[in-house]
Amino acid sequence: MNQIVDISPSSLFERAPDSVSFKKLRKRLVRQAQDVIDSFGLIDRHAIKTGQRKRPKWLVCLSGGKDSYGLLAVLLDLQWQGALPIDLLACNLDQGQPGFPKHILPNWLEEIGVPFRIETQDTYSIVTEKVPANKTYCALCSRLRRGILYRIAREEGCDAIILGHHRDDALETFMMNLIHGGRLAAMPPKLLNDQGDVFVYRPLINSAEADLQKFADAMTFPIIPCNLCGSQDGLQRQAMKKMLDDWEARKPGTRQVIAKALTTVRPSHLHDPKIFDFKALARGMAGETDDGVPF
């Protein structure tokens, strides 16, 4: 059984830049994660402190990409500050991609003193057998990975699986659902799985990808390429990323405005009777402003 301890970030940040810009970047990422944790109730500090709830344990998923490295670093920082009274267990799923450098993550995690579990499951062979050569592997690969991570979380007694998805991931997913799926949905910061026994948390959901890239570059994380399987991310997602890039170039700040829209929903101004009872509207009831709606 892994021994779970609070880790000082000194070994992680000892080679970090001493510049003012990096300190501001680090502080911003930590503050944004703290806001997500507080706003969406990822932990209940009072219940933990008073003993009403046991100390939670989180399974932090590491792919070897910039986002998951940044996720772990931010959580360790919060834990060290006393703002995150939880146990962390890092986890990497080795899916059998050809050329996967198995030594990188274990060596790095041992160096910084973080408890971890490496799980080896050859999902690569399954995916390449089931998916035609001209299609991307991402959808099936993701489903297989999700099932394995839920199992690991249960085996390790973890309350939640922690993922490194950021603001830009959420926006791309939102646009894909809007344009291709015909629904308003993005990536939730907090999700309970179908069986109701494991949460999925995304503490970086308000953080910009550009910030995480700068952070990873400054920290010189040992990045593992994301294309080892030979399949690039879905063409739809790449198209959404390019579209958002174009909008951002034309009007800087567009991404943040769209992100704000995900937190400012007006059900009465949409068309879904399952979330707003239009039939019950009657004269004399409290009305709503129609500002911003053309006549």
In a domain, 186, yes or no: yes
In a domain, 177, yes or no: yes
Question: Radius of gyration (Cα) for the chain, nearest Å?
Answer: 21
Helix extents (H) in 93-203 = 104-112, 123-130, 138-155, 167-176
**Domain hosting residue 205, numbered range:** 10-233
Mean pLDDT of the residues in the chain = 88
In a domain, 281, yes or no: no
Query: Residue length, the chain?
Result: 295
In a domain, 285, yes or no: no
In a domain, 139, yes or no: yes
In a domain, 251, yes or no: no
In a domain, 181, yes or no: yes
* Cα–chain center distance at 286: 39
Query: Per residue in 112-149, pLDDT tens?
Result: 999 999 998 877 777 776 666 666 656 666 778 888 99
Query: Per residue in 218-273, pLDDT tens?
Result: 999 999 987 655 555 567 888 999 999 999 999 999 999 999 999 999 999 999 99
Sheet strand arrangement including 199-201: 116-120, 87-94, 57-61, 160-162, 199-201, 190-192
Please report, as a single letter, which amino acid is at residue 261.
A
Q: Specify the higher pLDDT residue, 32 or 7.
A: 32
Per the CB < 8 A criterion, the answer to whether 187 and 165 are in contact is: yes
DSSP annotation of 269 reads G
Q: How many domains would you assign to the chain?
A: 1
In a domain, 22, yes or no: yes
Per the CB < 8 A criterion, the answer to whether 25 and 213 are in contact is: no
Domain with 204 in it: what CATH number? 3.40.50.620
Residue 68: per-residue pLDDT: 96
